[in-house]
Structure 1
Amino acid sequence: MRVALFVTCVNDLLYPDTGRAVVTLLERLGVEVDFPAAQTCCGQPQFNTGYRHETEPLVRRYAAAFDAYDHVVTPSGSCAAMVRDNYPRIAAKAVAEGRDRGLTEAAASAVPKTYELTEFLVDVLGVTDVGAYFPHTVTYHPSCHGLRMLGLGERPRRLLEAVKGLELRELEGA
């Protein structure tokens, strides 16, 4: 199984320890993780601010960067949702406007192999207990992208509930 980490531009610039922690976790679970240097932004900032045509080269770049991998894991629900939900729409619009230039194939190759981290752990690896210990009280806020676009459901909660020492409190209105 060939697995790549898509660290995302925000994590790379502001939270690089997140990427390191994901690699540490996956390697501890027996997964060999690659980090393709060709990866860049998924295009979400451009897409969300109305520069949708400008995301097309990033769709192709993402697909090319991760072409050799079976699974692409990202610690970002919004970036996973960008790939899985919006890449097909970007490609469809490009086809409708007569400028596909490989976007349909790029989206088709990227979408099924892109996973948000909790999905990968639970659905691909079959893991709900990662052996973590965190002796603190926490709450979980299910993100909009995780709920609506990715359908993560109870996966994040199942992982949190297995953390030794953790007291999980309900977030009102979650």
Structure 2
Amino acid sequence: MSHQTAAAPNATRVAPPLQAPRSYPAKPSDVFLFGTCVLDLFFPDAGMDAIRLLEREGIKVHFPQAQSCCGQPAYTSGYTEEAREVARAQLALFAGEWPVVVPSGSCAGMFRHHYFELFKDEPGTLKQVESLAARTFELAEFLLEVCRVKLADTGAPVKVALHTSCSARREMNTHVHGRALLAQLQGVERLDHDHESECCGFGGAFSVRMPDISGAMVKDKTAALKGSGAAEVVSADCGCLLNINGAFEKQGESLRGEHLASFLLRRTGGK
């Protein structure tokens, strides 16, 4: 979910700059998967496909059943205390040393960047935040930089357009990782499209609070995706997929977006 949501007064949220280059660890034997609330409710198959991709790399995936939201909707809406309580629960669930893999760049960015702001006045909790941030990876980043995957494409030639959440681009470089994985697929041609770096208009609560503006943004986004000539749309963010696919359906279009995890698994003989 992108964090373009309109915030309450005096609730400006600015992400810290990316640390570059990041030090990547060796491939672990175990990881946590943080499924995100949108994926859990609307795209459970993408979550299972993410697990299959990781298991194919010889990694055991642990999914704490009590996990919920990362706290981003409350945080970007200015409800700091409510966001802090949600975040505190995730910190307790994902304690330890295992990496936390997140199939959403914006939710991973919440863990890696914004929890520091939430707990800046709690030195004891900040130690937990530092641990979680260091162990958090967006799925494409983890596959590319930690697993060092080499994908063998088994699908027919296809032209695709890649959409990345605007916050995921800024905070996690998700577009770079997604492009690199798609480039490994011999039969996949990635097409550039207008408005690629712009928000789709979802922004969590933003699409509810500002429906007219959100609708105009997703109209521009879907027009650009259709105009690219792509036969398929791929994204690593379920909030964006929910918004874009909903717009496509309302427009009577057959084009639909698919989560990157599902696309990669399907193209490499996983299902």
Residue by residue over 1:10-48, the C-alpha shift from the partner in whole angstroms, topping out at 9 and shown as x without a partner, is: 100111011100011111122111111231111011112
- Could you say which residue in structure 2 is the equivalent of 1:116? 138
Aligned to 2:252: none
1:53-73 CA deviation, whole Å, 9 max, x = no partner? 111122221121111342000
Q: Kindly report which structure 2 residues correspond to 1:102-141, keeping only aligned pairs within 5 A, or say none.
A: 102-127=124-149, 129-135=150-156, 136-141=158-163
Give the corresponding residue for 1:64: 92
Give the gaps of 5 or more residues in structure 2. 1-27, 197-271
Root-mean-square deviation over aligned CA pairs: 1.8
The alignment status of 1:76 with 2:97, answered yes or no, reads no
**Aligned amino acid, residue 26 of structure 1:** L
- Superposed counterparts of 1:130-169, under 5 Å: 130-135=151-156, 136-152=158-174, 154-169=176-191
Q: Partners in 2 of 1:6 and 1:170 — Cα distance? A: 30
- For the 8 Å contact 1:74–1:115, the answer to whether it is kept is yes
User: 1:102 Cα shift?
Assistant: 4.2
| Greater RCO (Cα-Cα under 8 Å, separation 6 or more) | 2
Equivalences for 1:6-21 in 2 at 5 Å? Answer: 6-21=34-49
Counterpart residue identity of residue 130, structure 2: A
TM-score normalised by L of structure 2: 0.58
Percent identity among equivalent residues? 38
Which of 91, 111, 114 aligns to 2:119? It is 91
Contact kept? 1:63, 1:106, Cα under 8 Å: yes
Out of 13, 24, 29, the position equivalent to 2:57 is: 29
Matched position secondary structure for 1:70: coil
Contiguous gaps of at least 5 residues in structure 1: none
1-10 vs 134-143, which moves further: 134-143
Are the counterparts in 2 of residues 59 and 107 from structure 1 also a CA contact under 8 Å? no
TM-score by length of 1: 0.87
Offset of residue 123 of structure 1: 1.4
Write the letter of the residue equivalent to 2:49. A
Matched positions, count: 167
**Corresponding letter in the other structure for 1:61:** A
What is the aligned partner in structure 1 of residue 23 from structure 2?
Answer: none
The runs of at least 4 consecutive aligned structure 1 residues that moved more than 4 Å come to none
| Cα distance in 2 for residues equivalent to 1:40 and 1:101 | 24
Secondary structure of the structure 1 residue equivalent to 2:194? coil
